[in-house]
Amino acid sequence: MPNNPTPLAEPVESPISTSSISGQAGSNTGEPESRKVHAALTRSSTGNEDLRELESGLDSLQSDAARAARIDWSRILLPVAALVVLVLAWQFYVSLGFKRRDLVPGPLDVLGQFGTLWADGSLQEAVWTSLQRGIVGFLISVVIATPIGLLLAQVAPLRRAFGPLISGLQVLPSVAWVPAAIIWFGLTDATVYFVVFMGAIPSIINGLISGVDQIPPQYRSVGTVLGANRVQMALQIVLPAALPGYLSGLKQGWAFSWRSLMAAEIIAVGGTIGFGLGSMLNQGRDLADMTIVMSAILLILAVGILIELLVFAPIEKRLLRRRGLLAGSTR
Amino acid sequence: MPVVLENLGKRFGDGAPVLDDVNASIAQGEFVALLGASGCGKSTLLNIMAGLELPTSGALEVPSDGAAFMFQDAALFPWLTARENIELALKLRGVGKSERRTKANELLDLVHLGGAGDKRPHELSGGMRQRVSLARSLAQDRQLLLMDEPFAALDAITRDLLHDELERIWKETGRTIVFVTHNVREAVRLGQRVLLLSSRPGRVVQEWNVTEEHRTDAGLAGQLTGVITARLREEIRRHAK
Ligand SMILES: Nc1ncnc2c1ncn2[C@@H]1O[C@H](COP(=O)(O)OP(=O)(O)O)[C@@H](O)[C@H]1O
Ligand SMILES: [Mg+2]
């Protein structure tokens, strides 16, 4: 800072109180000395340039220096270590020989089965079929649920009317729809998709509604003051403001899609329904082959974890970081 | 007269009236400080002027195009950068895309934040956020600017600078400003006229003119502050049991 003596405010409270106002407060006001004491009451900078300089000094003092992001290896190594520990524990338990090997296969047996399934191509087929269905079903659910959720969140009478029903649907296990779907659509892909929709759509709608509920009321006031109409308010202010809640609704919606899909695939086998992971699980049961069952379970789990790690986690992290909501979390 | 309030009254539900018989008129280009104890209805009055709430009685005259508004906390949208926040105000006003960018940069420059346009609200200090918020309310391009304790949450050093800043911008842009505060010194520092609002019910009970001498002569300003403080305390003491 250059050497011009700026009469910047000093942290001195005004010496004037109600009792001392009568008469002498303004006694020696002519001198510039007294200005410093009362700086907060008068102009405290000497012009635009001075002000600009003061402000930029203060700005740099008050802003955090940008911290460079580094790869945090513990994020990768710790989960891998946890996995290794679990597999070792599994192997250890199996090697103790409490149970028959065909009832509780060890990690190596399952790995062997993986190899067999991979070699005859059924592993790839099952993963691909299920994944494709899960993703398509989920995306269609998003397209259906988003406008409905926004409408319900923004229009109070609609919300009152349908809110309880939507929350109720979320509690109903979507497997409950499988018999109905089979009766209506037979053993076709439509059955699988129907069950996925009934699982995912209510939870996405609910996520969006609760995201909207958590918006600070002030955002709407700002929108009104800035002159936003109803549509602009919904699309430019409410939707982006509700994005964190919406995203957790989407995550839950995906989880529901994936679970519903597995339920549907296990129950509805045959017809024109292709061979998915649920079908593989069912096949393992029919053959009473525990290694196939375990392989299918591990694959279902792996797909779930990978989608979370590769799709939702980065999006969520980016979203929260941009809004300054990530500091201090244990992610 | 851009703003005229006539016998304005407001009550919430069937409680006691928050505002009762408020009368005031504010001239074009004037800077008026609206002073009152916490809870006396300052925000309510300002919200009524902004059209965010309706009065229950009386009449008011405000510019037909509405008013720009600045909130106590900056109320910036956290998903937008500083510049995008300003651009949103321009967009909702119907300014074209290419013009928006230039205009937003000009406004950022006006509040001395030329280099911070790409920062997000959480990366800015409290004072910077309020300046972005000020720039956004200027982007609304309304003659009338309503400010609800915009500097109350800032530290003293920053607040003093923003007082200078606001005075400068007021002079440059010729806006009519109604500035709400519970801080007597702030009211004297900024207002050309200080209106004192009583509590329960809120009513304009007295007003003072602040001259150019008060801006440079700390003693004079201090004296006026003392007088107004005394009157405010008298108003508060009335409610003692
Ligand atoms: N929406 C509301 N509903 C009921 N009472 C309210 C509402 N808004 C404000 N009030 C009441 O009106 C009074 C004045 O509030 P406010 O205008 O916020 O005061 P100030 O801004 O001067 O601190 C307070 O007693 C408050 O409780
Ligand atoms: Mg208030």
**Last residue in a domain, options B119, B141, B163:** B141
Alpha-carbon torsion (B133, B135, B136, B142), positive or negative? positive
Confidence of residue B2 (pLDDT cuts 50, 70, 90): confident
Within the 10-29 window of chain A, which residues sit less than 8 Å (CB to CB) from chain B?
Answer: 11, 14-18, 20-21, 25-29
Amino acid A2: pLDDT: 42
- From the list B136, B160, B220, the residue facing A40 with the nearest CB is B160
- The preferred substitution site among B10, B12, B34 for testing ligand 1, maximizing ligand atoms within 8 Å of CB, is B12
Amino acid A41: pLDDT: 73
What does the pLDDT look like over A104-156, one tens digit per residue?
888 888 899 989 999 998 889 999 999 999 999 999 999 999 999 988 988 88
Residue B241 has pLDDT above 80, yes or no: no
- Give the residue whose CA is nearest to atom 7 of ligand 1: B12
Angle between helical axes of A290-307 and A122-154 (0-180°, round to 10): 40
> Phi first, then psi: what are they for A157, rounded to 5°?
-60, -40
Amino acid A89: pLDDT: 93
Amino acid B91: pLDDT: 93
> Phi first, then psi: what are they for B105, rounded to 5°?
-65, -40
Distance CA B150, CA A269 (A): 65
Same domain, yes or no, for B132 and B148? no
Name A68's Cβ contacts closer than 8 Å, sequence gap at least 6. none
Amino acid residing at B8: L
Q: Which residues, by Cβ under 5 Å, contact ligand 2, an ion?
A: B 43
Residue A245 alpha carbon to ligand 1 centre in Å:
30
Residue B179 has pLDDT above 90, yes or no: yes
Number of domains composing chain B: 2
Same domain, yes or no, for B155 and B59? yes
Same domain, yes or no, for B61 and B156? yes
Q: Is A226 on the interface with B (CB under 8 A)?
A: yes
Classify each residue of A127-146 as buried b or exposed e, where b means 16 or more C-beta atoms within 10 Å of its C-beta. bebbbebbeebbebbbeebb
Q: Is A6 on the interface with B (CB under 8 A)?
A: no
Report whether residue B41 contacts ligand 1, using a CB cutoff of 6 Å: yes
Give the whole-number percent of chain B exceeding pLDDT 70: 100
What does the pLDDT look like over B200-212, one tens digit per residue?
888 888 899 888 8
Amino acid A330: pLDDT: 58
Distance CA A9, CA A129 (A): 70
Identify the structural domains of chain A with CATH numbers, from first to last: 127-265+302-320 (1.10.3720.10)
**Last residue in a domain, options B91, B111, B141:** B141
What does the pLDDT look like over B122-142, one tens digit per residue?
888 888 898 899 899 989 888
Amino acid A331: pLDDT: 58
Per-block mean pLDDT, blocks of 10 residues, chain A (331 long) = 42 40 40 44 76 81 66 83 92 85 85 91 91 93 92 88 87 88 89 91 91 89 89 89 90 91 86 85 90 92 91 90 73 58
Which chain B residues are closer than 8 Å to A14 by Cβ?
A: 185, 222, 225
Report whether residue B201 contacts ligand 1, using a CB cutoff of 6 Å: no
Q: Is residue B73 part of a domain?
A: no
Same domain, yes or no, for B137 and B147? no
Within the 48-107 window of chain A, which residues sit less than 8 Å (CB to CB) from chain B?
Answer: 48, 51-52, 54-56, 58-59, 62-64
Amino acid A326: pLDDT: 73
CB contact under 8 A, A29 and B188: no
Ligand 1, atom nearest to B42 Cα? 22
Which chain A residues are closer than 8 Å to B188 by Cβ?
A: 41
Same domain, yes or no, for B158 and B240? yes
**For the residues B20-30, what does the mean pLDDT come to?**
90
Domain that holds residue B129: 78-141
Amino acid A66: pLDDT: 58
Amino acid A106: pLDDT: 87
Work out the mean pLDDT of chain B and round it to a whole number. Answer: 88
Same domain, yes or no, for B183 and B131? no
Residue B4 belongs to domain with CATH number: 3.40.50.300
Same domain, yes or no, for B205 and B179? yes
What does the pLDDT look like over B97-106, one tens digit per residue?
889 999 999 8
Residue B215 has pLDDT above 50, yes or no: yes
- From the list B75, B112, B158, the residue facing A218 with the nearest CB is B75
Q: How far is CA A51 from the centre of its chain?
A: 43
Same domain, yes or no, for B167 and B236? yes
Give the whole-number percent of chain B exceeding pLDDT 90: 27
Q: Is residue B33 part of a domain?
A: yes
